[in-house]
Structure 1
């Protein structure tokens, strides 16, 4: 898999599952990033085993049902990705509500 990569994760994922595997693969590259999204577990409380890794770690406490109002004003501008890969459907308003630009990823 090509890098840089971003891992979105919650607290339990940092102890078991795919996030552990991805941190082993990508943790030694500061071009990669981990984003902790669980508002109940601040990153400083759960990131301890990985603190010395060069991967960048961010705490964006968000509702796990990520929506455009969180993504557009804070997450995307802070991360400033050079390339954003997403389904084309998120680049245009819904066909039956063309005025609803709040349903569009604006980056």
Structure 2
């Protein structure tokens, strides 16, 4: 087991309550991780692994079979946890009294009951998602202005199937009258904004205010100001036509899709 402990640290350790793998939480956990090649399933030596895993195909996880003649006693649980050093441990509710709360904060303990749903926070910060073919053909990547990166907007439904995440298309009636709202983000560079204003025939001057606020004053054709904050930008003018030109200039500088 020491060799396996070095290799198989993520993402989950499950002790199946029944050799058939048809009862208990192991069913849900296997559906979640059967497609992960880093997962390891430990079965009793005499169990037909092919038959037991039949409902979960395709199966990518590794299977190890060994003898469990002695079973798992309560006295062995804490030494096993100390050996495996998990991030999260799930215990049946009836073991809450028999097993005291851990002294160490290196792992979290949750107790589950029959016929109750237990929500567990994922420790993974990112994960791979497969894209449906029809959804992939809808992608229209746009190159970012100041980065070597292309990004596209996509709308889909996230599906989890046999441990694999899939983004599938959403079947909705097409409405040609509905215009998709654009998304803009990133810091607003005052120098680039001044260039964009000049391209539209507007003269502006840059002023740096206190509190990390940049101010651009426009004198012609009418008075206006653009306040650039760290998280938002404010356009001030009484001329609606000028406000539209300023808005277009700001949009042209920002990254967006």
TM-score (norm 2): 0.23
TM-score (norm 1): 0.48
The structure with the largest strand share of the pair is 2
The structure with the largest helix share of the pair is 1
Point out the structure with max Rg over C-alpha.
2
